[in-house]
Structure 1
C-alpha cells in the first residue's frame, strides 16, 4: 500500500477513545486587581477582578501618592473593559505588596491599555517595573510606543517569578526621570500561584552536553502557541490562566504543512513524569505536520519565525503528542533552533512508548546582540538518516521564554519599526528622518480600511442577507467587478521604475524567490487560456508550482508604471501577514524586467460569485454564509490588531473575500500604503 494511503488509514483509526480528564491546577494564591477602580468586576473570560482599593495593604502608601483614573477612549480591540478602562497612575515611585505562599512559583501578569488618563497623554507615561526579589522587569518602558510598533490595542506582560522566601512579593512602579514630567501606570495586575513546571534544566542548543538551570530563573513569556489549533482562553487552560494563540501567523513561507485534530473524544494519557498542568488537553489533541508527500517534505523545513530581544538567553519548549502512529521510526525528524541542531532523529513514540501520550522538550539558546539576531527561527525536518516509514515532522505546542540575565534584568528597549516600513508610513527622506526621534516614527502602516472585526461581520452579513433577498441589487461596495481577480492586491501608485537585480537578495529571506522559468512553466508560457483576471496592473493566471501546487500568479503590466519601490514594499509587508483567514503571499519573481507575485490559489473563488451565481458557482447555505462572515471578520481583526503593523483594508467587498478548497474564508489584502489616521 502506498505510504500516503497508509497515513490516511491511520487518520481513520486514530479517532476512537474517551474524553481525557486532565487535572486542573488550583492556585493557592490568586489575586487579580482592577487597578484604579472602586468596584469589582468580571472580564470577558468570566474571571473576577478586585478593585485595588479593597485592601489598604496592597498599596504601600494606601494609594495616597497615586491617581485613580479612567481611560479617555475605548478601543474596540479590547477583550473586555475590565480591567483595561481604569488605571492607577503613579507620580512617584510606588509599590504594590502581596502576601504569597513562599513555597510556590508565581505568575505575575501586568496588563496595560495605551490611552490618555485624566488628561495625561499616553506618550507621557514612561516607567520601570521591579520586584523585591531584585528583578528589573521593565525599564524606561512606554506602552504607547510599544503598542504602536507592535500594532496591538493592549499589552499583557507575563512573568514567572521563582519562590519568594519572605512570603511578600513587592512590585514597584517608578516613573522614568526625564526633562519632561513622566508618569507610571497599570491597568490590571495579577499574582497567581503556579506549579513547578520549570524544574528540569534545558539543553543548550549546539552544546548537547551543556544545560541551563531554569528552576531558579525568572522567565518572561514571549510566545505561546497552540500549534495547528485555535486560540485557547485563560478559562480553558489547565488552571494556570494562560492564553494559547494560533501559530499560523508565525509559520514561515508558503509551505505551512497541514493541521490535524483528533477531537474532544481522543484520550490523552499524561505520564507520571509529565505534570498534567504543563499544557491543556486541547494542545495535545492537535498537531501541525508537514504533509503526506515524502518528496516534498524532504525539500523544505516546517518553520516558525518570531521576533525576540537580543542579548538574552531563551528557553524554547516543544510540546509533542503522537495522535496517529504507534511504532518507533514511523515518523522521525530533526529539530533546529536558529539554524543549529537542537536534536536529531526525534521520535515521539520513542519518547513516550505509545500513541496519545504527551511529552515536551526544553532547549536553551542565546541570542547575541548582532544585526539579524532579533529573529528566532524554529524549524523541523524529516530525519533522513533513520529512513523512517513517513518522512514527516509534527508539533503540538510551542512556548518561548526569555530568561533574566546575571544582573536580574529582563528589560529590553522599546521596539521600533523596520526602516523600509517607516519610510512607507511617513514618506520621509533620510534627511527628514534624521531630525526626528526614532520612536516618533512608530506610526502604523495603513493599507486600506474597515473599522474592525465586529464591523466586518456586519458588513459581510449584510451583503449575504441583501443578496439572498434581491440578487439583482448592486454590490454594497458601490462598484461592480467584471473579473474574478478583484481579490488580488492592486497597485495604486504612479511611480515608475524597473525591476532591480538586488530585490532577490533583499527580499529572498521573506518569501520564496521564483525564477522566470518556473513562472513560464507554471503558466504554460503565460497562456491566455489560464488567465483568471485582468486589471490595470496586468493579468492574473492560474498556475502550478512544485509539480502540483496550484497558485495565482499576478504578472505586472509594464504600462501600469508600477515602481520597484512599491513592488518591494508590497512583498515586505504582505510576506509578514500569515493568518488562516488571509490570502497568503507565497513568493515573487523579478527577472528580465518582470515583476510577478505568487499567491495562494482560492479553489472556490470569490464570495460574490456564490452570492450572485456567477461562473457556475453553487449558492451558499446560511451556515456557510455565517462561517464566511466570521472568517472574514477574523482576518480583518488580525490586520488591525494581530499583525506587527496596523493594516486597514479600505476595500471590503464580496470580490475581496475568497473561499479556499475547504470553504475557509480568506480576505485578500491590497497594497497602497498611506499614513495612519490619528487614534
Structure 2
C-alpha cells in the first residue's frame, strides 16, 4: 500500500481544474499569469492569462515552449510555455497589506529546448516562507502518473505591499508554467490543539498548504460552483472512508432551505451543506463501529488544521444525535451536537481542530473518526459530517516536504517494458501519443507505460497522462446551407431512415421541453444538453439538443439516425425521432426514468441494489450487446461499454445506450476492423490498444470491467487509491487470484449474496478480462453463466443456504441449474430474432449519442 502516492495524488488533483473553471480572474486584484507567454492568451474555458515578464525583477530567465503536448492538456495555456530560470530569480507582485491570498503554482515537466525537466531540482520561496525545497516536478508527476501538477497555498496576511516569489535552482534549472495569486477572505481564527487544551494555534497568522478538500456524502464540486469566486475544488470523500461500514449518504430535504445566517458563504458552497454522510439508523450496528476516514501522505513534524463542516437538515432539536469526534485516536470533540451548535435545522456551521503529527516508523496518516456519544443518551445513535478540509501549517517558515517516489509496481512495470518498447514501430508511437500514458496498472498499465517510454525516447520528454480521462475522437464539422443558414443535416439521410423515424418540428421540441427550461436538463453530452420532455400529451422522452453555436455534430447526427432507426431491441435505447429545422438538431429517445447504472452503484444515489437486481441488470445489458454482435446482418461493436452507458427504465430494465463510438460494416467478415483506438480508459481492451484491431471481444473485455464494477460498487479507475488499486480490473483480478475477492465486494451485499452465485459471477468476469480476445467468452456464454448466477441466488432467496457448499454439492447444483437453463441458453443463440428489421448498409462512422452522461465524452 503506497500511502505517499495516494495522498500526493489528492494534493495534485485538489486544484487540477482551478485554472480552467474559476471566476478568480474576475476577482479584484487577482493575478493569473501564463509564465513565458509574450502576450495574453486564453485557455480552453475562455479564461485569460496575462504575460509574466513585467513582474520578474532579477536572475537569468528565458521563455521556452515544450516540445510535446500531453493529451491531457486540453489547452496550450498555460502549460505549453514555461519560464526557465538558470539562476536565482524573483517575481514581485503587488498585494494589499494585511490581506490573505491563495497562491497556486502550475508545473508541466517536459523538454523545453535543451532543458529536460528530469534534471530540474529547485526551491520556491514566498517572501521568507519556503514553499518547495529541492523540488522535482518530474519525480512528482511520475509518482502520481500525472501530466502536470498544481500546488495551492494560503498565504497569511502581511504588512508588506508586495509579494516576492523566488525561484532558485538546486540542480539544473527551475521552471514554472503558471502562477495564480487570488485574494481570499480571512476565514481562520485561534484553534485549540488536540491533546493540549491549554495550548492554542493562531491560524489567522499561519501560512498553509491545502492537503485535502472533500464534499462528504456528496459528489465532486467544480471550481465554477465554489462560493465567493474562490475556485476551490471539492472531491468525493468515498475513497477515504475506512472499513466495511461507510455509513449512508443523504441529500437535503426538499422542504429545507440552507440558511447561512451569520456565517459567511465563502466558508464553503451550498453544495457541501446539502449532502451528508451519517452512520445509518441501525442502533445496534452504530454502537459497534466508528464512521472513519483515513488521509495519507501526511508529512510528520507538522501541525495540521482540520476543518469539519456540519449542517443538520434532517433533525430539528438538540440531543437527537450527539457524537464524539476523534482525530488520530485522540478526542477532538466530545458530545458534538450540530443543532445545538448551529441553532437550527438547515443552518451550516464548522469546527476547526489542530493536530500535531509526530514522526513515526513509516508513512504517516491522519485518521478522523466519529462515534455516537452513548453516555449522553441521545434520541438516536448516529453521527454525521458534511465536509472536511485539511491544511498543513508552516513550521519554522517552511511548508516544504520531500519528493515522492514512484511505487515499486510502477518501477517494475517500467523496467519490464524496456525490451517491449524497442520492438515497437513508430506507428505505435503515434497511436500511443494519442491515447496517453496511464495510471491504470495491469495489462493496460504496461502498455501505457510503454507509451510513456516511447514518447520519452522520441520527443525527449515525459508524458504522464491523466489516464482516467477518455480518449477523444475527432468530430466532423457541421454542414450548413450558405443561403438559408439552416443546417442540412437530414438532407443526406436515406429515405428508409427518414421513413422509420418521426420528424418533429422545432416548435414541438420547444413545447415538449417548456422552451428548453433548465429545470428539465437531465444531462450534458459532448454536443449539447439532454432534456426531459413530453410529446403527444403524455409520452415521456429524452431530447438531445445540439449546441446551436457548435460547428460539430452533423455527421454524427446523420449516422445515429441511420443506425438507431434500424435497431430495435428491448435492451437498446430506442430512437423515436429527430428534428432538423431552423439551424437546430435534436434527437428524441426513450426516456429512462432511473438514469445510469453508475448512479445506483456509487454516485451518491440512495438506492442499494440487491444482488438479484444487479444480476437482472447484467443479463439485460448482455442481451443488448449480444444483439449488436449477432442479431444484425453485420457485427456491430459498441466500443464504449461502461456503467454510464447502461441506462435503467422505471422497471429497472437495462438498456444499452451511447453508440457514439460504434463500428460496423462488411469488413468485420475478416474478424476485425483496423481502426484508431477509441474508448474509455479503465474499460479499454489492452489487445485492441496494442494491435489497433477491433473485434467483438473488445466489448467483452469492457463488459468484464462492468461486471466487477457492479460487484464491488467502485469506479473502473480511482486514481486516489494506492497505485496497485487504481485499476479495478487489475485489482479485482489480483484479489480473485489471491482468493480475497470478498474483501472488496460492495459492503451492502455482504451476508445477502449466495456464495456460489458470486463465485460463478467472478469467474465469468475474470474470463472476460483475459489478455487475449480468443480466450474470452462470447456474449452468449456470458449470458448463460449470468442466468445460472441468478438461479443460484433465487434458490437462496427461496430458502437455500448462502454458505459455501462442498465441492460435490456445488457441481451437482450447477449441473441441475445448467439443465434447467438449457432452453434459455438455446434461445440466447437467436436473440437477433427480437429485431424488427435487419441492419443493411449501415454507416461505419461515429454515431451521435450519449443520452444521459452528465459529462459527455
What is the TM-score normalised by the length of structure 1? 0.64
- Please give the alpha-carbon distance, in whole angstroms, between the structure 2 residues aligned to 1:410 and 1:205: 21
Tell me: CA distance 1:397–1:614, structure 2 relative to 1, closer, same or farther (3 Å). Answer: farther
Q: Are residues 1:267 and 2:261 paired?
A: no
Aligned to 2:316: 326
Structure 2 SS opposite 1:412: coil
Q: Are residues 1:37 and 2:37 paired?
A: yes
Aligned to 1:78: 73
Structure 2 SS opposite 1:39: coil
- Please give the alpha-carbon distance, in whole angstroms, between the structure 1 residues aligned to 2:360 and 2:102: 31
Tell me: CA distance 1:50–1:624, structure 2 relative to 1, closer, same or farther (3 Å). Answer: closer
Tell me: CA distance 1:228–1:142, structure 2 relative to 1, closer, same or farther (3 Å). Answer: same
Aligned to 2:399: 410
- Please give the alpha-carbon distance, in whole angstroms, between the structure 1 residues aligned to 2:730 and 2:204: 53
Aligned to 1:174: 168
Q: CA deviation at 1:154?
A: 1.8
Q: Are residues 1:59 and 2:56 paired?
A: yes
Tell me: CA distance 1:194–1:305, structure 2 relative to 1, closer, same or farther (3 Å). Answer: same
Tell me: CA distance 1:91–1:328, structure 2 relative to 1, closer, same or farther (3 Å). Answer: same
Q: Are residues 1:395 and 2:390 paired?
A: no
- Please give the alpha-carbon distance, in whole angstroms, between the structure 2 residues aligned to 1:613 and 1:210: 74
Q: CA deviation at 1:220?
A: 0.6
Aligned to 1:150: 144
Contact 2:206/2:394 (8 A) holds in 1: yes
Aligned to 2:852: 627
Aligned to 1:113: 108
Contact 2:143/2:407 (8 A) holds in 1: no
- Please give the alpha-carbon distance, in whole angstroms, between the structure 1 residues aligned to 2:368 and 2:323: 13
Aligned to 1:666: none
Contact 1:148/1:444 (8 A) holds in 2: no
- Please give the alpha-carbon distance, in whole angstroms, between the structure 2 residues aligned to 1:324 and 1:484: 39
Aligned to 2:187: 197
- Please give the alpha-carbon distance, in whole angstroms, between the structure 1 residues aligned to 2:443 and 2:398: 40
Contact 1:457/1:630 (8 A) holds in 2: no
Which of 256, 276, 280 is the aligned partner of 1:291? Answer: 280
- Please give the alpha-carbon distance, in whole angstroms, between the structure 2 residues aligned to 1:408 and 1:141: 17
Q: CA deviation at 1:314?
A: 0.6
Superposed, 1:268-667 pairs within 5 Å as: 268-272=258-262, 274-307=263-296, 308-405=298-395, 407-419=396-408, 422-423=411-412, 426=415, 446-449=441-444, 453-455=469-471, 469-470=566-567, 471=628, 472=631, 473-476=635-638, 478-479=695-696, 481=700, 487-488=707-708, 526-527=755-756, 531-532=760-761, 534-535=763-764, 626-627=851-852, 630=855
Contact 2:215/2:388 (8 A) holds in 1: yes
- Please give the alpha-carbon distance, in whole angstroms, between the structure 1 residues aligned to 2:833 and 2:219: 33
Q: CA deviation at 1:98?
A: 1.0
Structure 2 unpaired stretches of 5+:
1-23, 418-436, 449-466, 476-524, 527-555, 568-627, 640-694, 709-727, 768-784, 808-827, 835-846
Which of 235, 242, 248 is the aligned partner of 2:232? Answer: 242
Aligned to 2:64: 69
Aligned to 2:178: 188
Residue by residue, what CA displacement relative to the aligned partner does 1:249-307 show, whole Å, maximum 9, x if unpaired? Answer: 323344333333328995322233x3331112222222222333333333332222222
Contact 2:194/2:353 (8 A) holds in 1: yes
Tell me: CA distance 1:319–1:457, structure 2 relative to 1, closer, same or farther (3 Å). Answer: farther
Which of 154, 157, 160 is the aligned partner of 1:163? Answer: 157
- Please give the alpha-carbon distance, in whole angstroms, between the structure 1 residues aligned to 2:168 and 2:411: 31
- Please give the alpha-carbon distance, in whole angstroms, between the structure 1 residues aligned to 2:244 and 2:304: 27
Structure 1 unpaired stretches of 5+:
1-23, 429-441, 559-608, 616-621, 634-679
Contact 1:456/1:629 (8 A) holds in 2: no
Question: What's the RMSD between the two structures over aligned residues?
Answer: 4.5
- Please give the alpha-carbon distance, in whole angstroms, between the structure 1 residues aligned to 2:241 and 2:343: 29
Count, aligned residues: 506
- Please give the alpha-carbon distance, in whole angstroms, between the structure 1 residues aligned to 2:850 and 2:106: 36
- Please give the alpha-carbon distance, in whole angstroms, between the structure 2 residues aligned to 1:444 and 1:490: 13
Contact 1:421/1:445 (8 A) holds in 2: no
Structure 2 SS opposite 1:107: strand
Structure 2 SS opposite 1:455: coil
Contact 1:425/1:443 (8 A) holds in 2: no
Contact 2:25/2:31 (8 A) holds in 1: no
- Please give the alpha-carbon distance, in whole angstroms, between the structure 2 residues aligned to 1:613 and 1:384: 61
Aligned to 1:48: 48
Structure 1 SS opposite 2:205: coil
Contact 1:25/1:240 (8 A) holds in 2: no
Tell me: CA distance 1:76–1:393, structure 2 relative to 1, closer, same or farther (3 Å). Answer: farther
Contact 1:422/1:443 (8 A) holds in 2: no
Structure 2 SS opposite 1:60: strand
Contact 1:262/1:323 (8 A) holds in 2: yes
Aligned to 2:196: 207
Contact 2:704/2:765 (8 A) holds in 1: no
- Structure showing greater radius of gyration is 2
Aligned to 1:138: 132
- Please give the alpha-carbon distance, in whole angstroms, between the structure 1 residues aligned to 2:174 and 2:389: 30
Which structure's relative contact order is higher, taking Cα pairs within 8 Å and 6+ residues apart?
1
Q: CA deviation at 1:381?
A: 2.3
More helix by percentage = 2
Q: CA deviation at 1:528?
A: 6.1
- Please give the alpha-carbon distance, in whole angstroms, between the structure 1 residues aligned to 2:855 and 2:351: 36
Report the more deviating stretch, 484-493 or 346-355.
484-493
Q: CA deviation at 1:109?
A: 1.2
Q: CA deviation at 1:221?
A: 0.7
Aligned to 1:595: none
Contact 1:485/1:534 (8 A) holds in 2: no
Q: CA deviation at 1:148?
A: 1.4
Report the more deviating stretch, 325-334 or 296-305.
296-305
Residue by residue, what CA displacement relative to the aligned partner does 1:144-184 show, whole Å, maximum 9, x if unpaired? Answer: 111111222321111111222221110000011x4xxx111
Aligned to 1:663: none
Contact 2:35/2:81 (8 A) holds in 1: yes
- Please give the alpha-carbon distance, in whole angstroms, between the structure 2 residues aligned to 1:316 and 1:401: 7
- Please give the alpha-carbon distance, in whole angstroms, between the structure 2 residues aligned to 1:513 and 1:195: 42
Q: CA deviation at 1:419?
A: 4.3
What is the TM-score normalised by the length of structure 2? 0.52
